[in-house]
Amino acid sequence: MAQHSLTYLCIILCAAQVAPLPISCRIHGGLIQNIQSLLEKMGGLFPLECLDHNARFTFPVSSFKSNTTAQVDTGVERAVYATLVNIDVLYENDTMPTNWDQVELDIFRNLVYRVVEESECVLKKSQTVQEDTFSDSEAALEEYFGEMTNFLEEKEYSVCAWEVVRKETLHALRFILHDVSDPWA
């Protein structure tokens, strides 16, 4: 009898692992928290020798706001998604500082990629809402990350330039986690 019960339990557990789970189209805040934590840990504290390399980037806070209540959650999700896509592109670069923890960096890159891939449905979900509202927000985010890319190029991908970009990326992630309404909760 116990053997039959154990057999049935194994079958149920195997079926639960194989059966597809319903996929929700949302960005998981816990994964964004993990991304931020990895980015923070992989480089440690901002190096004192890099203080004079600091640059000012204006984070497009307005990209996370919508004109109508119907667009708020969708607009925020799209802005968060666009931010993650831009982070993914920015950190694809192979000129990262060697003093960053390479294991943490690889995990960070893989997690950002995974979240972007799993959250692509956010774009499809928001197609019913006015597209021009989102294109302005996404353009502002692309410009913001483009400024960081240009900064890296101007500074020839120096360690200090990467530290400035890492600090700015952390700022963007903190903003998402703490100052944006939480459509993924």
For residues 179 and 116, the model is more confident at 116
**C-alpha–C-alpha distance, residues 137 and 82, integer Å:** 9
pLDDT in tens, 19-68: 343 456 667 788 999 999 999 999 999 999 999 887 889 999 988 876 55
Residue from 69, 65, 63 nearest 138 by CA: 63
pLDDT of residue 14: 41
Per-domain boundaries in the chain: 25-179
**C-alpha–C-alpha distance, residues 137 and 78, integer Å:** 9
pLDDT of residue 182: 57
Task: State how far the alpha carbon of 58 is from the alpha carbons of 55, 76, 114, in Å.
Answer: 10, 18, 27
pLDDT of residue 73: 61
Yes or no: is domain 25-179 CATH 1.20.1250.10? yes
pLDDT of residue 121: 79
For residues 47 and 12, the model is more confident at 47
